[in-house]
């Protein structure tokens, strides 16, 4: 059981069996879409008997599909159905889609919007230029908060207690990552205070530049972050960063005006 689940389990109202079942569902990644009980045990720390029982139950309900040939499990369609009401309720996605597509085409890169999912930022909408050669990033793709520009922008916008809680969760689950990146995160917070945006090298490819700007106010109780990633193409970083920052900040302010009205703090 991970650190956050273990802490919540001290609450008498907390349903441990439900939490453990959800832990199994969260073990899957795009790179590892087929997992067996052995992998579940390694990733959750649960015992073999508990994992076997949970996997069987989830398969009976359709949330997992058992691949008899491999003796392992894949995610089932109900998992996708669970996420659709959330995406459909986010009217912001429909509003910003043409706006982020226009910016992506203008800068010949990728523009996306994301929200926090525990220790990662997950994309709720993305658009990319046809001239962008980087691997496409689809809705639902997640990147670590401490490493990504959009994650650092989320940390910069979050209330201090919420930010500390997220960083403590990362420290408990990924102590090595926390130790390696905490200085960069603190510098990013200082930079945001001066510049109004966060930056980082591209995660998928180091020859790319990523910038991120959070919205001034939450949407549906979520801090929404806009980010833009472009290939350097031999261009000097400082002027490119300044140009992208100006474009991205302008885009976010336009979105805020449309969502909140003309007055945005």
Q: Which of 160, 171, 167 is closest to 193 using CA atoms?
A: 160
pLDDT above 70: residue 7: no
Domains assigned to the chain: 3-81 (1.10.10.10), 90-260 (3.30.450.40)
Q: Which of 38, 205, 201 is closest to 132 using CA atoms?
A: 205
pLDDT above 70: residue 78: yes
Instruction: Name the phi and psi angles at 200, rounded to 5.
Output: -165, 160
Q: How much is the pLDDT for 46?
A: 92
pLDDT above 90: residue 59: yes
Encoded tokens for 20? 């453990």
Model pLDDT for residues 8-21, shown as the tens digit of each residue: 556 678 888 898 99
Taking residues 58-86, what's their average pLDDT?
89
Could you tell me the sign of the dihedral formed by the alpha carbons of 115, 119, 120, 122, in that order? negative
Q: How sure is the predictor about 138, in pLDDT bands with cuts at 50, 70 and 90?
A: confident
pTM exceeds 0.85? no
Q: How much is the pLDDT for 152?
A: 96
Q: Which of helix, strand or coil describes residue 11?
A: coil
pLDDT above 50: residue 158: yes
Q: How sure is the predictor about 130, in pLDDT bands with cuts at 50, 70 and 90?
A: confident
CA distance 54 to 119: 24
Where do the H-state alpha helices sit in 158-236? Answer: 160-173, 175-195
> Which region, left, alpha or beta, applies to residue 68 given φ > 0 means left and ψ of -120 to 50 means alpha?
alpha
pLDDT above 80: residue 86: no
As a whole number, the mean pLDDT across the chain is 88
pLDDT above 50: residue 265: no
């Amino acid at each position: 059981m991970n650190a956050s689940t273990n802490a919540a389990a001290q609450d008498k109202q907390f349903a441990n069996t439900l939490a453990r079942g959800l832990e199994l569902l969260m073990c899957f990644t795009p790179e590892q879409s087929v997992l067996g009980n052995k992998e579940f045990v390694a990733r959750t720390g649960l015992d073999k008997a508990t994992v076997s029982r949970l996997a069987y139950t989830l398969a009976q309900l359709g949330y997992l599909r058992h691949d008899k040939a491999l003796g392992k499990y894949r995610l089932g369609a109900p998992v996708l159905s669970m996420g659709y009401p959330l995406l459909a309720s986010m009217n912001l996605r429909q509003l910003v889609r043409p706006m982020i597509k226009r910016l992506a085409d203008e800068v010949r890169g990728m523009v996306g919007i994301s929200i926090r999912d525990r220790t990662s930022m997950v994309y709720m909408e993305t658009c990319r230029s046809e001239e962008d050669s980087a691997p496409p990033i689809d809705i639902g793709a997640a990147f670590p908060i401490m490493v990504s520009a959009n994650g650092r922008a989320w940390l910069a916008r979050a209330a201090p207690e919420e930010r500390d809680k997220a960083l403590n969760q990362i420290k408990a689950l990924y102590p090595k990552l926390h130790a390696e990146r905490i200085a960069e995160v603190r510098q990013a917070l200082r930079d945001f205070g001066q510049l109004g945006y966060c930056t980082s090298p591209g995660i998928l490819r180091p020859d790319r530049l990523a910038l991120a700007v959070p919205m001034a106010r939450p949407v549906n109780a979520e801090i929404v972050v806009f980010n833009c990633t472009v290939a350097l193409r031999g261009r000097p970083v400082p002027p490119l960063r300044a140009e992208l920052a100006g474009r991205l900040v302008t885009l976010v302010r336009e979105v805020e005006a449309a969502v909140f009205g003309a007055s945005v703090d």
